[in-house]
A and B are shown apart, each in its own frame.
Chain A
Amino acid sequence: MKILVVEDELKTGNYLQQGLTEAGFVVDLARNGVDGLHQARTESYDLVILDVMLPGLDGWGVLRAMREEGRSMPVLFLTAKGQVEDRVKGLEQGADDYLVKPFAFAELLARVRTLLRRGRVSEPEVLRVADIELDLLRRRVHRAGKRIDLTAKEFLLLELLMRRHDEVLPRSLIASQVWDMNFDSDTNVIEVAVRRLRAKIDDGYKVKLINTVRGMGYVLETPGPD
């Protein structure tokens, strides 16, 4: 998976490149809009991460030129401007997602993966991670062959963690995907919900699958070969 990052801020660009590379992507970095557009024209990318305020040619300009040339790879905007009208403008001009600075890297990673996953749907009826089996049709969960009773929301939460296993899911993403709460709640509602799910899934088993990544979120990890 090849990603182009167009970002003029030195540190932001470097850390984006490092973080995404370590997450397993091939990342090219352009420092301004003109270079970015040139890169996008000459190579093929699976995703472009575009800053809005860029020297030379701004993010809107880069996106417009790309779309006019018929390049349809997904574009994720990064911007310090969080106004509703900016968001609408970005999406209307063909951006696929929009992230307002400051953002959590885990959030960016989650959105990048969502964008890259789009269009490659092969909906399985049963999700399997390690020894957990989640039957989407019958709404049943088994671990190591033993039935586990979950509430509807716990089921949704587990489904999300399993679909995105090995990805760190930020609290805001979990709140949005499971409860449709699209704002930051300052209470530790998600923490409690995950803790309760973990009690049902992991208690009594030697391998703990659901883990907290401090300061970032939660991950359902496939155990290593050892």
Chain B
Amino acid sequence: MRLRSLTLRLTLLFWIASTVVLVALGYLVSRSVQMHFLEIDRDELLGKVALVRHTLAKIETVDEFAAMPGRMDDALIGHPHLGVRLSSPDGALLYASPNVSFPDADFPLRLAEDQQSPPSIATWRHGDHYFRGTMASVPTAFAGMPRANVAVAVSINHHIAFLDTFKHSLWLTIALSALLTGVLGWIAARRGLRPISDLTAVARNISASRLHDRLQVDTLPVELTALALAFNDMLSRLEDSFRRLSDFSSDLAHEFKTPLSNMMMQSEVALSKSRSEEDYRETLYSGLEECDRLARTVSDMLFLAKADHGQVVPTIEIIDLATEVQELFEFYDAFVEERGVTLARQGSGVVHGDRLMLRRAISNLLSNAVAHTAPGGQITVSLTSTTADVITLAVENPGPSIPSEHLPRLFDRFYRVDPARQRSRGGVGLGLAITKSIVTAHGGAMSVSSDHGITRFEMTLPARTRPGS
């Protein structure tokens, strides 16, 4: 059986443990009391045997022997709980006190040759009385019968009664103790586990709007500290993700709203009065441009959303990065020439990946670099393999340094170093985010540095050795 409740489980375990200990203790106590009484009874019996031995030692003549039962009776006056039986070595009954009958099995009239003292002790019941007795062979001073078999019994009713009461109260105490430890165990478990319910209460109160709440780690037991720390870390990550998501949503809404409101406004203005054909055409063209921007944003967003869910599975083929870069240079050739910028390439490298996606990633870096390079500048794309299994593609361009606080967020969606310049170019700020998604999907990483007038974007990709080498 699997216990669902930790409190119940702890209570049960605690209760079982304490009950086992209590029962063992009760057993030991009652057994040692019993042994103690046995010891007392043995001492008493041996004393009585000595008494009889003393009486018999005085019998020396036939007359005295004949008078023995009477003397024994006299000797036993005042000992109502004592029973004595005498028999001769050949088994004839010589004397028996009236209040006891000895069981034959343990007390034969004729004692075996080797059965001398100290004898074993037996316990039996006669009527309402419990007896404990022993038997011994005792020497006499009478010449006709040098030894006599003596059986002695004492009533142990008071011991038995005491033991019964004692055991009764002992086991009652144990049972109550067990019950009490069960209840106390339950209380202790509940109290001990309270930090967990506190934790639960805090966790229950956390919602998207209250993600800044944290668990108080310093007041928690050590066992729960690691859990609470992990929980807090999770909250921090969630808070960060939520913040990004909410920034992102407002950016996204802005990106969508701007072209939509442009289109609505220009359509309404155009329709507000009769216009020339040229004006209508202009309105439609302008609307088309806004649509184009919207469509591009949507498809970029879709790409990023798929990348977020790991759905961008690159088609794996062998790609010579130097060739790709060269082809991109050809693509950008006229463009950079017009801007008075030159392109240079160094090194080589081969990776496995998706050609289309990698081209797109590098192209974004290149267009970014071109946009931030003043005429006369040179953009350098270098391919290096610093270690055997990593290829680094770096795109360097001269230009004003990007303040360091912006660097970690450059790959965020819609992030712009200068918000005022936001719509001066065609892009909406998703290029670097897409580049990062592509590189991540290829198992690589992106980084950026910017100082001393050089901005350097680096993508590291897992290298593949050239086939056949």
Contacts and interface: CB of A to CB of B under 8 A. Distances in A.
A181 B285 contact: no
B289 interface: yes
A215 B363 CA distance: 22
B327 A179 contact: yes
A84 interface: yes
B424 interface: no
A182 interface: yes
B138 interface: no
A28 B313 CA distance: 39
Tell me what chain A mostly uses at the interface: helix, strand, loop, or mixed: loop
The winner among B306, B311, B332, B371 for most chain A CB atoms within 10 A is B332
A180 B328 CA distance: 10
Contacts of B359: 181-183
Size range of the chain A interface in the assembly:
20 to 34
B331 interface: yes
B418 interface: no
B333 interface: yes
Interface of B is mostly: helix
A104 B427 contact: no
B327 A184 contact: no
A145 interface: no
Contact of A188 (B285, B296, B333, B426): B426
A186 B338 contact: no
A186 B431 contact: yes
Contacts of B188: none
B360 A187 contact: no
Contacts of A153: 330, 333-334
B291 interface: yes
A175 interface: yes
Interface of B: 285, 288-289, 291-292, 294-296, 298-299, 302, 306, 311, 313, 327-328, 330-335, 338, 356, 359-360, 363, 367, 370-371, 425-428, 431
26 contacts: A82-B299, A82-B302, A83-B306, A84-B313, A102-B294, A104-B292, A151-B333, A175-B331, A179-B327, A179-B330, A179-B331, A181-B359, A183-B359, A183-B363, A184-B299, A185-B367, A186-B296, A186-B425, A186-B428, A187-B425, A188-B335, A189-B331, A189-B335, A192-B338, A214-B289, A215-B292
